[in-house]
């Protein structure tokens, strides 16, 4: 399954892809050394992430619900299989995957969520909504979590977390930006390397 002693990684995205960029940069700098990003897959045809991937020489494809309808997940699986993918990294992928899908890839899908799980997570907590809820609650600390993906949204085993201070006067946008820069862009590459090492060592 694992070829060339590197875990073959697919990054699934929907948007701008700053987390994808952090992964690409971490691969270049050697933080990610046990795996290699060999595919970027977006469910949005116009996602800037696709351009980031191509700029880095990584094959990038769009698989959209508009094009594939009920076959959306099947098409994703087919694409992953054709590329011999060992590990799926969800980096701002705005679709909830079915139980069939997550069962098929047990311990082989990780996700970044922009809060300290179990706070502000689960269905409906995505994008700026997460940060809006945190600010409404008045928390003084938020952050990011990388976790394995199972059938429960944001419910899989936690791999890594990093806390970030909430500042007086924060808006969802300023809090989101601080969490991206200080937590997400750091723990997603570190977690990816950790999980790749474990796969190579047959620990998961």
Contacts with ligand GRF, 99-138, as mask; x by CB under 6 A: -------------xxx------------------------
Q: Which of 10, 17, 133, 175 binds ligand GRF (CB under 6 A)?
A: 17
Q: How far is the CB of 2 from ligand GRF (least distance, A)?
A: 26
Answer yes or no whether residue 189 interacts with ligand GRF by CB under 6 A: no
Q: How far is the CB of 157 from ligand GRF (least distance, A)?
A: 18
Q: How far is the CB of 4 from ligand GRF (least distance, A)?
A: 27
What distances in angstroms separate CA 179 from CA 100, 109, 191, one per listed residue? 32, 22, 16
Q: Which of 108, 113, 147, 178 is catalytic?
A: 113
Cα angle, residue 204 at apex, residues 118 and 81 outer, rounded to 5°: 95
Tell me whether residue 113 is one of the annotated catalytic residues. Answer: yes
Q: Of 129 and 137, which has the nearer Cβ to ligand GRF? A: 129
Q: Which of 11, 12, 19, 88 binds ligand GRF (CB under 6 A)?
A: 19
Q: How far apart are CA 200 and CA 131, in angstroms?
A: 36
Q: How far is the CB of 149 from ligand GRF (least distance, A)?
A: 12
What distances in angstroms separate CA 127 from CA 12, 133, 139, one per listed residue? 16, 11, 17
According to DSSP, the β-strands at 87-90 and 7-13 are parallel
Residue 110 contacts residue 195 (beta carbons within 8 Å)? yes
Residue 10 contacts residue 87 (beta carbons within 8 Å)? yes
Radius of gyration of the chain (CA): 16
* Contacting positions for ligand GRF (CB under 6 A): 15-19, 91-92, 112-114, 180, 184
- The residues carrying an active-site annotation are 113
């Amino acid at each position: 399954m694992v070829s060339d002693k590197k875990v073959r990684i697919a990054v699934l995205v929907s948007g701008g892809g700053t987390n994808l960029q952090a992964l690409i940069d971490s691969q270049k700098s050697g933080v990610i050394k046990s795996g290699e990003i060999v595919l970027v897959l977006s469910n949005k045809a116009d996602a800037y992430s696709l351009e980031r991937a191509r700029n880095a020489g990584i094959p990038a494809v769009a698989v959209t619900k508009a094009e594939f309808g009920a076959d959306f997940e099947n098409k994703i699986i087919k694409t992953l299989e054709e590329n011999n993918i060992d590990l799926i990294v969800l980096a701002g992928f705005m679709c909830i995957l079915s139980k069939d899908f997550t069962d098929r890839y047990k311990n082989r899908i990780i996700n970044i969520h922009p809060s300290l799980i179990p706070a502000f997570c689960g269905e409906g907590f995505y994008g700026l909504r997460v940060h809006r809820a945190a600010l409404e609650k008045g928390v003084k600390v938020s952050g990011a979590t990388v976790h394995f993906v199972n059938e429960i949204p944001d419910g899989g085993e936690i791999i890594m977390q990093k806390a970030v201070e909430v500042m007086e006067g924060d808006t969802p946008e300023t809090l989101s930006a601080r969490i991206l820069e200080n937590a997400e862009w750091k723990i997603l590459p570190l977690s990816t390397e950790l999980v790749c090492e474990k796969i190579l060592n047959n620990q998961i």
